Amino acid sequence: MNLTEKIEQLKKEKKAVILAHNYQRPEIQDIADYTGDSIELSRQAAEEKNAKILVFSAVDFMAESAAILNPEKTVLLPSSGARCPMAQMLPLTQVKMWKKKYPKIPLVLYVNTLAEAKTECEVCCTSANAVEVIKAIDADTLLFGPDTNLAWYVQQKTGKKIIPIPPGGFCPTHLLFMKEDALLRKQEHSNAVIMVHPECSPDVQEIADFIGSTSQMCKYAKNSSSQRFVVATETGLLHRLKKENPNKEFYSAYEGGVCPNMKLNTLERIYLALKTEQTRITVPAAVAKKAKDALEKMYKLTS
Ligand code: CIZ
Ligand code: SF4
């Protein structure tokens, strides 16, 4: 039996489902039951009524959210070290400190935070729904963390004042993209459409034809009459874009735009996770309860 067959067999035996983030390696996306962004995967996880195990091929905070929303299921992260550096940039103590400083301003946290930080916010948002969530809150000024670039994007889109929690977090992978590369690619590929993730810096966002999350990029590319796209987000998304649009062309704005944490997951590690049922992601009940409220409020405001 090859590795894929072994994974299939274990999946059946253990009633497991593999959920892979859009930034996962192509071979993982190909064997996954579902590929999507964090919100699509969380929704899918909740739909899997018969599953006992969720193999969440992504990074720590995403598996934590899956565990919070699916307490009756075992959630496995194939690589224990797959931790999002942006989420680590906003420790609970810092959230508490800035909340104290601005007690009357609602706090919105990007889902790219650890569960314990989520316990302190009014509501969470993803890159796909940040604008919708912030528009829905009855306040003109909001405190936001950890991503300063997403905060900038939301401020432009909503006209509200968004205060990023100091010193401000960022995605080290999305910061690698430069507008010069994207514009050069656009020129090389007959005026291709530039799609940019809001985690990229403002100057890259400013030259975009479209700004959106990975799920929004997938929808945009599918519905667009354009044939060629330059993509400024983690390179894993190109696999899904090409698969869903075989007649269109996709070029990374910068091939080095790779998230080493996302890439820690491999087919071998998925096989081992299924076999050993490790690494199991759990969230203490008191933390899970509060973080769940913030996640569910996000669903309520956006569904
Ligand atoms: O929410 C997600 O899955 C992230 C972090 C990226 C995106 O835009 O899909
Ligand atoms: Fe975190 Fe950036 Fe990697 Fe996403 S791409 S998991 S935000 S480091």
pLDDT tens-digit map of 84-136? 999 999 999 999 999 999 999 999 999 999 999 999 999 999 999 999 999 99
Rounded mean pLDDT, 39-52? 92
In a domain, 12, yes or no: yes
Q: Quick one: 29 and 55 in the same domain?
A: yes
What distance lies between CA 146 and its chain's CA centroid?
A: 13
Query: Which domain-ending residue is among 108, 136, 171?
Result: 171
Q: Cα of 85 to ligand 2 centre, how many Å?
A: 7
Residues 99, 146, single domain; the answer is yes
Q: Are residues 242 and 267 in the same domain?
A: no
pLDDT band at 42 (very low <50, low <70, confident <90, very high): confident
Percent share of the chain, pLDDT over 70: 100
Cβ 260 vs Cβ 55: under 8 Å:
no
74 domain residue, yes or no: yes
Count of residues making up the chain: 303
Q: Which amino acid is at 282?
A: T
* DSSP character string of 57-84: ES-HHHHHHHHHH-TTSEEE-S-TT---
Same domain, 159 and 195: no
Tell me which amino acid residue 154 is. Answer: V
CA 68 to chain centre: 16
Task: Please check whether residues 229 and 273 belong to one and the same domain.
Answer: no
2-23 pLDDT tens trace: 999 999 999 999 999 999 999 9
Q: Are residues 203 and 160 in the same domain?
A: no
Measured in Å, residue 232 CA sits from the centre of ligand 1 at 13
Residue 303: its pLDDT value, please?
Answer: 73
Enter the tokens of residue 63: 């598996």
DSSP state for residue 281 in the 8-state scheme: P
- What is the tens place of the pLDDT at every residue in 219-249? 999 999 999 999 999 999 999 999 999 999 9
Last residue of a domain, one of 119, 137, 171: 171
Ligand 2 atom, smallest distance to 174 CA? 2
Ligand 1 environment, Cβ below 6 A: 21-22, 37-38, 112, 126-127, 197, 213-215
Residue nearest to atom 5 of ligand 2 (CA): 259
Dist. CA 82 → ligand 2 center (Å)? 10
Residues 92 and 73 in one domain: no
Cβ–ligand 2 distance for 85 under 6 Å, the answer yes
Q: Above 90 in pLDDT, residue 24?
A: yes
- Whether 272 is in a domain gets the answer yes
Does the CB atom of residue 234 touch ligand 2 within 6 A? yes
| 122 domain-assigned | yes
Same domain, 189 and 242: yes
- Residue at a domain's end among 171, 196, 217: 171
Determine the distance separating the centroid of ligand 1 and the alpha carbon of 194, expressed in angstroms: 18
In a domain, 47, yes or no: yes
pLDDT at position 250, please?
98
Tokens representing residue 236 in the block: 């894993």
Full domain range(s) for residue 216: 174-252
Count of beta carbons in the 10 Å neighbourhood of residue 284: 9
- Ligand 1 centroid distance, CA of 197 (Å): 9
Number of domains in the chain: 3
Ligand 2 contact via 262 beta carbon (within 6 Å): yes
Residues 62 and 78 in one domain: yes
Q: Is residue 257 part of a domain?
A: no
The dihedrals phi and psi of 260, each to the nearest 5 degrees, come to -60, -25
* 100 & 73 share domain: no
**CATH classification at residue 92:** 3.40.50.10800
Describe the strand order of the beta sheet including 249-252 as a list of residue ranges.
210-211, 193-196, 228-232, 249-252
> Does 227 fall in a domain?
yes
